[in-house]
Amino acid sequence: MIIIDDKYISDEVIEEQFVCNLSACKGACCVAGDCGAPLEKQEVKTLKKIFPKIKSYLREEGIQEIAATGTNTIDDEYGYVTPIVNKGICAYAVIDERGVVGCGIEKAYNDGVIDFKKPISCHLYPIRIKKYESFEAVNYDRWDICAPACRNGKKLQVPVYRFLKDALIRKYGEEFYSVLDKIAKKAKP
């Protein structure tokens, strides 16, 4: 266990290796699961605000789901989450010509239409954060659909935390990442 301020980071975050392999998994993390992506309170407000700007990026069934349920829904375990269509694919998901599922929000961001990349829980995956009263648990989430990413990470020798550098900096800042990187380099056998 690594402790940085009030963040309790699982050793797996620096020990396990991971690099997404979208050609193998086809973006299954946006499709599988029993609820949408967890959202922070501020992200709920952001999604409401940006929806008119990103609507043209979304699939018709996603737009219909958002019209019916709102830009977010509530899950018993995770709280605020993105809506899902037919108990599966995220309402904000898009599918490219190769059948790879991606994020309509991120596509709008990459096009310069909005300044919000995507929900931080998506950006941080396969890290999941659980907030407690006095600390946050930062854990590596194992999921069989990510087996190709684990193989790819081992082949390329990229630890989870390094693959998620931008997301970790976005969430916790440069100083946090720098400390984590130093700890990881010292722990390396």
| pLDDT at residue 189 in the model | 58
* Whole-number average pLDDT of the chain: 93
Strand duo 136-140 + 127-131: pairing: antiparallel
3-state SS of the chain? CEEECCEEECCHHHHCECCCCHHHHCCHHHCCCCCCCECCHHHHHHHHHHHHHHHHHCCHHHHHHHHHHCCCEEECCCEEECCEECCCEECCEEECCCCCEEEHHHHHHHCCCCCCCCCHHHHCCCEEEEECCCCEEEEECCCHHHHHHHHHHHHHCCEHHHHCHHHHHHHHCHHHHHHHHHHHHHHCC
pLDDT digits (tens, 9 = 90+) for 52-82: 999 999 999 999 999 999 999 999 988 999 9
Longest dimension (CA), the chain: 53
| pLDDT at residue 116 in the model | 96
| pLDDT at residue 143 in the model | 82
Is the pLDDT score of 129 beyond 70? Answer: yes
Is the pLDDT score of 96 beyond 80? Answer: yes
| pLDDT at residue 162 in the model | 96
| pLDDT at residue 29 in the model | 83
CB atoms within 10 A of CB 128: 16
Is the pLDDT score of 174 beyond 90? Answer: yes
| pLDDT at residue 53 in the model | 97
Is the pLDDT score of 188 beyond 80? Answer: no
Domain parsing of the chain, residue ranges:
1-18+126-189, 28-114
| pLDDT at residue 86 in the model | 87
Task: Quote the CA–CA distance of 121 and 128 in Å, as a whole number.
Answer: 7
25-29, 46-50, 101-105, 148-152 — which is least confidently predicted?
25-29
15-19, 25-29, 60-64, 167-171 — which is least confidently predicted?
25-29
Is the pLDDT score of 105 beyond 80? Answer: yes
Residue 186 φ/ψ, nearest 5 degrees: -70, -35
